[in-house]
Structure 1
Amino acid sequence: MSSSFAAGPSLALAQPPLADPSAAEKGSLAAVGLGLLAVLVAAFDADAARARLSLYAALALLSGGTLAWSWLKFGRRPAGVQHHNLWRRGSTSRGAVAWVTAVVLTGFYVLLYWFSAPNDQGNFGLLNGLVHALDPFSQALRAHPADQWFLYGTFYTLAILLMGGRALWKYRHSRYQLIRTGSVMFFQLGFAFLLPGILQFFQQPEFYFTYFWPLKYDYLLPGTVDYLVQNGQALGVFMVFWGAVMALVATPVLTYFYGKRWYCSWVCGCGGLAETAGDPYRQLSDKSRAAWRWEVRLIYPILGLILLVTVAMWLNYVLHGAILGSVADGLYRFYGFVIGAVFSGVVGVGFYPLMGSRVWCRFGCPMAAYLGLLQKHFSRFRISTNGGQCISCGNCSNVCEMGIDVKQYAQRGEPIIRASCVGCGLCSTACPRGVLNLENGPREGRYQGSSFIHADSLRILS
């Protein structure tokens, strides 16, 4: 187990040069590069058959190259969280590679959200070739031609599965991490990708059973409720019931017993992408107090805004627009554009290589704010610490994607009870001394030091 140094860049001159990748690693990375090139070919090839062939070849190269590299990089090394040269690589320390990656991701999201709406001829702009290349797959799954959101869902799911494979190799020594990674892969593939498609195949409303209000903010709005009930009939009524119960009843109960990790680290697709595709960037989260202040200034007002939008839309619906008129609809459109598209989409993923993997979860997600309030004030969940065993290596703080300076708690032996903590358990997994443990003990003694350990506790061993 190697130590991590937050001030790594300042020590660069005192360290030996970076080791070159092995020939096998270069070969697997070359396959990934060829896969990305094939994606561009598919995007700009006017011949539909060739574009389709190029895209399928691209997906095969990307999949094979990523999984092979993951095994070569992590599978052949001793198990354990290793931070070798993390702050010396341009790809993981906001260097040139990171900036290029951020620009590409941001550009793709901008195209997806604002420049890929189909025209009367079914042309999706610059993404047209990629979208129509997936038509056969979309027809088989959904009985509908592909659109820009099906393309996005396919890429999104593939990213979680491939980078989830990487995480399985990297954290293979931790049973908790293996199960947690497998969980987000399962829910994304089964419940967020395949099931909505199967519903459409049987001419039922598209519905995502793993997304709840206030994250999926329109699921409890009158327009969506009417649509589901009218088009899905009995199934639609169940969908509305499911969404309401999960948001208003199950979420508080599950968070009381397990903290927000039951959702943010085990189920949510946003968290799933952050934990897999965003794992190389988790150390970039700002641990400063100024960043925490911005977190509080942004995330709770956003939760308040979606509450206001929901109430306004229902008042407008009940009163037939007699009082609010177009104000409610304007609030809805504003929230959908600024928060739903710009923040959660473009910034939330595009800024992974620059600000860490949980930008949206930390600063913008209303579901995270809702869960965080419950976790902070009503939950049994905490992370216990044993200050007497802490060697101040900093591994725990380095891997915290939510910007929590875990080391400061560990040194003092104080339990970590923070609204922002998603319970990913990486701080415990990365600790070489077993100082940190995730616990679900009773609320009595929740704020006591590490001497309080209940038999009901869930201990996460690194």
Structure 2
Amino acid sequence: MDFSSDLTLSRPPVPETSATEKTLLTAVGLGLLALLTVAFDADAGRARLSFWLGLLLLSGGTLGWAWYKFGRQPAGVQHNNLWLRGSTSRGSVAWLTAVVLTGFYVVLYWFSNDDGQGNFGPLNQLVHALEPASQALRHRPSDQWFLYGTFYTLAVLVMGGRALWKYRHSPYQRIRTVSVMFFQLGVAFLLPGLLLAFQKPEYYFSYFWPLKYEYLFPGTVDYLLKDGGPGLGVFLVFWSAVMSLVATPVLTYFFGKRWYCSWVCGCGGLAETAGDPYRHLSDKSRTAWRWEVRIIYPILAFIVLLTALLWLGASGAVPALQPITEPLAKAYGFAIGAVFSGVVGVGFYPLMGNRVWCRFGCPMAAYLGLLQKHFSRFRISTNGGQCISCGNCSNVCEMGIDVKQYAQRGEPIIRASCVGCGLCSTACPRGVLNLENGPREGRYQVSQLIHADSLRILN
């Protein structure tokens, strides 16, 4: 007996796309097409016009679609057939998106270097289309990294607008989204450009060791002191050391790793905005967790060892280290800084979720995670007596944590991987989950006490 037709009929239907939504998505598609034509247009003036028209259509269409999709319906986290759509359930659209993103990173990293004559390969016309903007901000010619920074910042801002519409009912999510938008635009894009305009070192204040691993390398320290001058150079080195070794542990003690991973970091900012449609795709199996531990902590150990070896090599105390430290640093930059954080970390959003890099490769996440788990006041408390096992919390967890299992047992969530995005609490219809920075005493027992009090009241 053939049950295939019955199974097909039993599936919840995906709502039809309205004419307005199709029009807005068409604007997004035309924007992408306009950007694609720039790469093949030999006329510089026309290419520049197409470039800015493409960005306008892409940004306007996305923001208009976000308003239409989320602004016209009741506030609240709604899953909107995520597992039925090809774009968000590892379907054909998701695979196509992953191929395009991965391809862009491959071209950016390995086929777009300046040939010495201002030619940037396949991205040449796109790079030169930003020449006026680069000159205005940085007083220097555009390059592939300025192009990438522009695209990156625009993605955070535009998709941040989408997140503000989607999570407008939650003050925590609104403030957190504005925070990552501010740090990306102001601190990670405009401020480094202004430093270059004043003939100072290009420096990113929102990144530090071990994420920006080279900031404590001897060569970088010498560069900052030399080009930054006696005032700014010393301050930049001081900032790197204090933020890496003092401020980070202190802030993590009080607020957990969320102060950085969900509020400041540009990688986290892109994940929370552009990667938000894919957060439910994170693997929550124990196998994935085991691989997470096997990969991320050795990467942290390697960068600690590499930093120590570079300092020893630079000091001259161990002359034999000097020939091997530079190749080690280049190998790390290629494997972790380019392949893992860029090609895999962003390119695989549509297939593995939006925090692949943060879960498996980021040394900063590993460092903060150890501090959070063993020395922080931060926790997510749960009230098992109120949990209805709907699974919304687990579905929105981008770090692969099966939150529902903790909520059902009334156990606090104290995990090294948790970035404190708060979406589990935002998505909970019963208010079971709460982000807290309570005292360390009773950190592991507070939720059980709440659960016991709830049962006592019910009885």
Q: Give TM-score scaled by structure 2 length.
A: 0.95
2-structure distance, mates of 1:306, 1:11? 52
Question: Do structure 1's residue 94 and structure 2's residue 95 form an aligned pair?
Answer: no
Letter aligned with residue 213 of structure 1: W
- How much has 1:13 moved relative to structure 2? 5.0
1:33 to 24, 29, 36: 29
1-structure distance, mates of 2:322, 2:377? 44
- How much has 1:327 moved relative to structure 2? 1.2
Structure 1 pair 252/109, CA: closer, same or farther in 2 (3 Å)?
Answer: same
Question: Do structure 1's residue 338 and structure 2's residue 335 form an aligned pair?
Answer: yes
2:366 to 364, 369, 373: 369
1-structure distance, mates of 2:218, 2:12? 62
1:153 to 149, 152, 155: 149
1:222 to 211, 218, 223: 218
Alignment partner, residue 6 of structure 1 = none
Alignment partner, residue 241 of structure 1 = 238
Question: Do structure 1's residue 19 and structure 2's residue 44 form an aligned pair?
Answer: no
Question: Do structure 1's residue 296 and structure 2's residue 297 form an aligned pair?
Answer: no
2-structure distance, mates of 1:17, 1:325? 64
Alignment partner, residue 45 of structure 1 = 41
Alignment partner, residue 252 of structure 2 = 255
Letter aligned with residue 308 of structure 1: L
Alignment partner, residue 308 of structure 2 = 311
Deviations along 1:143-194, one digit per CA (max 9) or x if unpaired, are 0110000000000000000000000000000000000000000000000000
Structure 1 pair 370/87, CA: closer, same or farther in 2 (3 Å)?
Answer: same
Alignment partner, residue 382 of structure 2 = 385
Question: Do structure 1's residue 440 and structure 2's residue 437 form an aligned pair?
Answer: yes
**Which deviates more from structure 2 when the two are superposed, residues 96-105 or residues 16-25?**
16-25
Deviations along 1:56-96, one digit per CA (max 9) or x if unpaired, are 00010011100000000000000000013110000000000
Q: Report if aligned partners of 1:52, 1:133 keep a CA contact under 8 Å in 2.
A: yes
Deviations along 1:345-403, one digit per CA (max 9) or x if unpaired, are 11000000000000000000000000000000000000000000000000000000000
2-structure distance, mates of 1:411, 1:11? 31
1-structure distance, mates of 2:139, 2:121? 23
1:208 to 204, 207, 218: 204
2:239 aligned counterpart, secondary structure: helix
Q: Give TM-score scaled by structure 1 length.
A: 0.95
2-structure distance, mates of 1:451, 1:303? 34
Question: Do structure 1's residue 127 and structure 2's residue 123 form an aligned pair?
Answer: yes
1:430 to 427, 432, 435: 427
Letter aligned with residue 36 of structure 1: L
1:307 aligned counterpart, secondary structure: helix
Structure 1 pair 416/16, CA: closer, same or farther in 2 (3 Å)?
Answer: closer
Q: Which runs of 5+ in 1 are unaligned?
A: 1-9, 454-462
Letter aligned with residue 172 of structure 2: Y
| Structure ranking higher in helix proportion | 2
- How much has 1:195 moved relative to structure 2? 0.3
1:172 to 160, 168, 176: 168
Question: Do structure 1's residue 56 and structure 2's residue 69 form an aligned pair?
Answer: no
Alignment of 1:276-287 (within 5 A): 276-287=273-284
Letter aligned with residue 439 of structure 1: E
Q: How many residues were matched structurally?
A: 444
- How much has 1:11 moved relative to structure 2? 7.9
- How much has 1:21 moved relative to structure 2? 1.6
Alignment partner, residue 72 of structure 2 = 76
- How much has 1:325 moved relative to structure 2? 2.8
- How much has 1:330 moved relative to structure 2? 1.6
- How much has 1:12 moved relative to structure 2? 6.7
Alignment partner, residue 329 of structure 1 = 326
2-structure distance, mates of 1:410, 1:248? 34
Alignment partner, residue 266 of structure 1 = 263
Q: Report if aligned partners of 1:164, 1:185 keep a CA contact under 8 Å in 2.
A: yes
Alignment partner, residue 144 of structure 1 = 140
- How much has 1:329 moved relative to structure 2? 1.1
Letter aligned with residue 392 of structure 1: S
1:326 aligned counterpart, secondary structure: helix
Letter aligned with residue 233 of structure 2: G
Q: Report if aligned partners of 2:411, 2:448 keep a CA contact under 8 Å in 1.
A: no
Alignment of 1:179-194 (within 5 A): 179-194=175-190
Letter aligned with residue 342 of structure 1: V
1-structure distance, mates of 2:195, 2:340? 29
2-structure distance, mates of 1:13, 1:232? 67
Q: Which runs of 5+ in 2 are unaligned?
A: 1-5, 451-459
What root-mean-square deviation, in Å, do the aligned CA atoms of Structure 1 and Structure 2 show?
1.2
2:39 aligned counterpart, secondary structure: helix
- How much has 1:43 moved relative to structure 2? 1.3
2-structure distance, mates of 1:99, 1:411? 35
2-structure distance, mates of 1:422, 1:256? 14
Q: Report if aligned partners of 1:445, 1:452 keep a CA contact under 8 Å in 2.
A: no
- How much has 1:246 moved relative to structure 2? 0.2
- How much has 1:16 moved relative to structure 2? 3.7
2-structure distance, mates of 1:304, 1:263? 20
